Structure 1
Amino acid sequence: MGDNYPLRACDRGFHESLTHRGGGLAQAADRPPGSSYFDPLLERNGRPVRARGYCSDVFTDAAIRFVRRNRNRPFFCYLAFNAPHVPLQIDEKYAAPYRAAGLDDTTARLYGMVANVDENVGRLLDTLSALGLERNTIVVFLSDNGAQHPDRYNAGLRATKGTVYEGGIRVPCLVRWPGRWEGGRQVDALAAHIDLVPTLLQVCHVRPPQGLALDGQSLAPPLDGAAAPTEDRLLFIQWHRGDAPEPFNNCAVIGQRWKLINGKELYDLQADSAESREISREHPELVRRLRGEYEKWLADVSATRGYDPPRIVVGSPHENPSLLTRQDWRGPRASWADTGLGHWELAFAMGGRYRVEALFPALKADARVSLQIGEQEHWRMARSGAGRAVFTSVSVPEGPARLEVRIHEGETSRGPHYVSVRRLSEDSLN
């Protein structure tokens, strides 16, 4: 999924979509002039729309309308809240009870956002019940990662978001289907997000497309009450910044019992779910075996997927203009900081003339602005106080190209916050 064609939800098979850009609201991927959790600037089926209300309420309202419209036929609805998340914007009525209980303002706002999500999930479940769909609708609720700060409740698990310790990656997954699965029980089977697709395909009697290899496995047997598999299935997790993977950097090999972190730390999860006792010296052969399994996995995904970024297609009838943001920057200086610099990997759908507009915070002094597309380079002068530089008609051939804009200020350079790329019609050139 992404912010531009062909990676938007509306390009990837969803018949209807209401989305924010990037990883959340009030972030670098927002359309200018930026957004908020209240009356957010969203995209409906790929087109900008200003919503009214609080973001989680808006998304839930849209999901409820979708369910009502499709009540008489099978449907799939993916409701992904960006809350709870910084900047912790929430109506005071949700934060006030937690602040009154003695929690600091940040924690009160965080728990207020959780309470609002809980309320909205309840509204969706109530809708299913009111429509008579509760018994035969599968509902899956899960989170994406552990707490961001060590002072949050984390069930005694080690570390936080961004790490591959259990406190960063073990999350709740609640599944409800009254027509088939008995509730009120815990399924003790090693599982991951990659298991959801094969599970839903199996229980809905849908065959995957021929030749499609799925990484996950169906959880239907343990959900149906069968004993959890006894074989030591292995899951592989790796997460770090950068454009390419670094072997044994922030990675984990996870089995039903054993877990190897960064190729050297070994833990027995059955005896020590808090990962408090490192035991690699006691099991050197096991460490070597798990390291070998990791190396085979990394070689496999490297061979079958590659690490070239998916290119943003510009100048197509599906999206014109295309808004590029720092969210999709590549390169060693890529960041959301005002001093950051990066490039975009693009594919021009058609050759022709393009208008390229760079947007940035108002300059404090005169600066030169350069545009590089492939091998060609163009320059503009931007005066003090300016917040944009426009390259009105740039000839670009069809095909892949790297685009970079630099703001040159003395001996330093930085990138813009946004770049708009529009293919010009023949009429606009005459």
Structure 2
Amino acid sequence: MNARLIFATLSLLLTLTSWSQAERRPNVVVFLADDQGWGDLSYQGNQNLATPNIDAIAQQGASFDWFYVCSLCAPTRAEFLTARFHARGGVRGVSTGQERLNVDEQTFVEAFRDAGYATAAFGKWHNGTQFPYHPNARGFDEFCGFCSGHWGNYFDPLLEHNNQLIRGEGFIVDDLTNRAIQFIERHQDEPFLCYVPFNTPHSPMQVPDKFYDKFADVDFEMKNRDPQKEDLAMTRAALAMCENIDWNVGRVLQKLDDLKLTDDTIVVYFSDNGPNSWRWNGGMKGRKGSTDEGGVRSPLFIRWPKHISAGLKIEQVAGAIDLGPTLADLAGVKFQPQKRLDGRSLSPLLLDQQQELPERLLFSIPIKKWKNVSVRSQRFRLDAAGRLYEIANDIGQRTDVAAQYPDAVRELTKAAAQFRSEIAAQMDAETRPFTVGFAQLTQLPARDGKPHGNIRRSAPAPNCSYFTGWKNADDKMTWDIEIGQAGKYEPIVYYAAPKSVVGTTLQLSFVGQTSTGEIRAPHDPPAYGPELDRASRGSESPVKDFTPLSLGILELPAGTGELTLSAPELTSSQGPEIRMLLLRRIP
């Protein structure tokens, strides 16, 4: 090859490389904390802890003064993913299937994937376990974490990676961050979207010693506005967990620096609801589960160097419903679902194109009493009891100004009534069956089943529970299911049982079809988890290391029905404990 041809070839390669770099869309990294309150950051003035890495996202980018999520976990995730109020998408609870996002809802992640992005999520999903609700079916090429609402143990926990069960390594948040960093390294030469929904500081209150020791004996100067309500053990653990989150966020930010991706990456940080205990939260009223300011106001920080001005403060009211359209807009990705969006792009505010957007209303509902709608305008919050608060001047919601602003009360009351009518059908909808056969492997955890007879859950909260208390042959457990693809399936039950249960035959039945498997070996591990807690875990279950047992082959027809696990003949006065069923579709 002569020198002129070599020069021409090199020039072409340089031109193509330059074009590629110029046209490459920005990467996106989204951190979502679980049960971290607005006040659980040093950026907000909390002197009880230090969160320099999270603070830096705000300092180097934009911070939103009035950003709102939902009062509980799963609804916020649904609103973030779809840009629609969660009730519209069928999310009306946090467990037993009510947390599932309707399959006809489009996520903004699907739009990024279709635009050529590598997509992944590492952490707590909480919008459906079985396909097509699973994250791998909602736009994420890779998923590692758990699909439940909360987990019972954070050290070397049982997790899943792309619908396959695995064992985590070390403290769960550190492990999830390691996997996110590895994903970024693998995809550094192409645009990527990395979603990191951490599962802390949600209980159980577990955190490594190196983070907890700082707080072990501290009596904080900054406390909740009603200090008699504060549980200091819970506060110590929660703030230690927040500092662990900050350390892990810093590791991701450092990796972006090392790979020279910082300027090409949009970084977002927010939380899913208010704090999970009474602790300092800027004097706001309410906590997790409440639709007052303290239950639904979240930090929101967005950094994109050379595009979003450092230190930008945005006072316009915004919500989780706005994040999908905003990220799509910033990245030049087309996100235009057929269904009406409640959210809108905030890019004009972030890019200094205009000072404010037209005013609109945000709605909040408590899951168990969804008709109690609270409405937030730019100026006011109208609570479900008809009390009106001028939030900027009364962040603590201490003075009802309804009598002074009757027009505002009428307007917001009318809007709340209209919203109730729009979501009534979804909130009162019949329970959906759990889907089986839409992927080769389907998980049916105890959380999604129903106990009968003496059988009960291992803890009040279903999310990470297992079935226990089996005493006689009439006891059973059932799952309401929909078979998406007829065919042969291998049922695998994860059980624990003492030696006395050996010889018991388990039977699985569905619309007249049955399969069986005999317990041939004892497996009686101890329950664990609470001994690692820094504060009371409340309703979360302890965990056990269950073992699998094949129940042969079951021929399943397409359609809906009740899947029943029973033991017609027990060999002792008790039956096994059951954590989950796996149904493996045989090709």
Q: Which bracket does the TM-score occupy, shorter chain normalised?
A: 0.7 to 0.9
2:440–2:584 Cα contact (<8 Å) kept: no
Q: Give the equivalent residue in structure 1 for 2:260.
A: 132
1:198 deviation in Å?
0.8
Q: Give the equivalent residue in structure 1 for 2:444.
A: 324
Structure 1 residues 399 and 220, CA gap change in structure 2 (3 angstroms): same
Mapping for residues 74-223 of structure 1, pairs under 5 Å: 74-102=191-219, 104-150=232-278, 152-209=279-336, 211-223=338-350
Q: Give the equivalent residue in structure 2 for 1:14.
A: 140
Query: RCO (CA 8 Å, sep 6+): is it higher in 1 or 2?
Result: 2
**Count of paired positions:** 404
* Secondary structure at the counterpart of residue 193 of structure 2: coil
Separation in structure 2 between the aligned mates of residue 295 and residue 402 of structure 1, nearest angstrom: 38
* Secondary structure at the counterpart of residue 292 of structure 1: helix
Mapping for residues 276-355 of structure 1, pairs under 5 Å: 276-302=398-424, 307-308=429-430, 311-316=433-438, 318-320=439-441, 322-329=442-449, 335-336=461-462, 344-352=479-487
1:48 has 2:165 as partner: yes
AA at the equivalent of 2:444? L
- Unaligned runs of 5+ residues in structure 2 are 1-126, 221-231, 470-475, 525-547, 569-574
User: Which stretch has the larger CA shift, 353-362 or 204-213?
Assistant: 353-362
Separation in structure 2 between the aligned mates of residue 406 and residue 156 of structure 1, nearest angstrom: 53
1:106 deviation in Å?
3.7
Q: Give the equivalent residue in structure 2 for 1:33.
A: none
User: Which stretch has the larger CA shift, 290-299 or 119-128?
Assistant: 290-299
Q: Give the equivalent residue in structure 2 for 1:69.
A: 186
1:146 deviation in Å?
1.2
Separation in structure 1 between the aligned mates of residue 426 and residue 158 of structure 2, nearest angstrom: 37
CA deviation vs aligned residue, 1:345-376 (integer Å, no higher than 9, x gap): 4211233565656667769x999999775699
1:136–1:179 Cα contact (<8 Å) kept: no
Separation in structure 2 between the aligned mates of residue 216 and residue 49 of structure 1, nearest angstrom: 36
AA at the equivalent of 2:207? I
Q: Give the equivalent residue in structure 1 for 2:375.
A: 253
CA deviation vs aligned residue, 1:213-248 (integer Å, no higher than 9, x gap): 3220111112223222353x101121324xxxx552
User: Which stretch has the larger CA shift, 336-345 or 166-175?
Assistant: 336-345
Structure 1 residues 206 and 391, CA gap change in structure 2 (3 angstroms): closer
Sequence identity percentage: 30
Structure 1 residues 351 and 136, CA gap change in structure 2 (3 angstroms): closer
Q: Give the equivalent residue in structure 2 for 1:5.
A: 131
Structure 1 residues 183 and 309, CA gap change in structure 2 (3 angstroms): farther
Q: Give the equivalent residue in structure 2 for 1:275.
A: 397
Separation in structure 1 between the aligned mates of residue 406 and residue 559 of structure 2, nearest angstrom: 51
1:420 has 2:581 as partner: yes
Structure 1 residues 273 and 210, CA gap change in structure 2 (3 angstroms): closer
2:365–2:374 Cα contact (<8 Å) kept: yes
2:268–2:301 Cα contact (<8 Å) kept: yes
AA at the equivalent of 1:315? G
CA deviation vs aligned residue, 1:241-267 (integer Å, no higher than 9, x gap): 4xxxx5523x31111112122252322
1:39 deviation in Å?
1.6
CA deviation vs aligned residue, 1:177-217 (integer Å, no higher than 9, x gap): 11211121321011111101111111112222463532201
Separation in structure 2 between the aligned mates of residue 156 and residue 99 of structure 1, nearest angstrom: 24
**TM-score where L is the length of structure 1:** 0.79
User: Which stretch has the larger CA shift, 179-188 or 169-178?
Assistant: 179-188
CA deviation vs aligned residue, 1:24-50 (integer Å, no higher than 9, x gap): 321xxxxxxxxx312222111111111
Separation in structure 2 between the aligned mates of residue 167 and residue 313 of structure 1, nearest angstrom: 36
AA at the equivalent of 2:263? R
Structure 1 residues 292 and 52, CA gap change in structure 2 (3 angstroms): same
1:358–1:405 Cα contact (<8 Å) kept: no
Separation in structure 2 between the aligned mates of residue 373 and residue 278 of structure 1, nearest angstrom: 57
User: Which stretch has the larger CA shift, 219-228 or 399-408?
Assistant: 399-408
* Secondary structure at the counterpart of residue 302 of structure 2: strand
* Secondary structure at the counterpart of residue 280 of structure 1: coil
2:507–2:551 Cα contact (<8 Å) kept: no
* Secondary structure at the counterpart of residue 321 of structure 2: helix
AA at the equivalent of 2:250? G
Structure 1 residues 51 and 386, CA gap change in structure 2 (3 angstroms): closer
* RMSD, matched Cα: 3.9
- Unaligned runs of 5+ residues in structure 1 are 27-35, 409-413
1:146–1:167 Cα contact (<8 Å) kept: yes
1:356–1:419 Cα contact (<8 Å) kept: no
Q: Give the equivalent residue in structure 2 for 1:31.
A: none
**TM-score where L is the length of structure 2:** 0.60
1:356–1:422 Cα contact (<8 Å) kept: yes
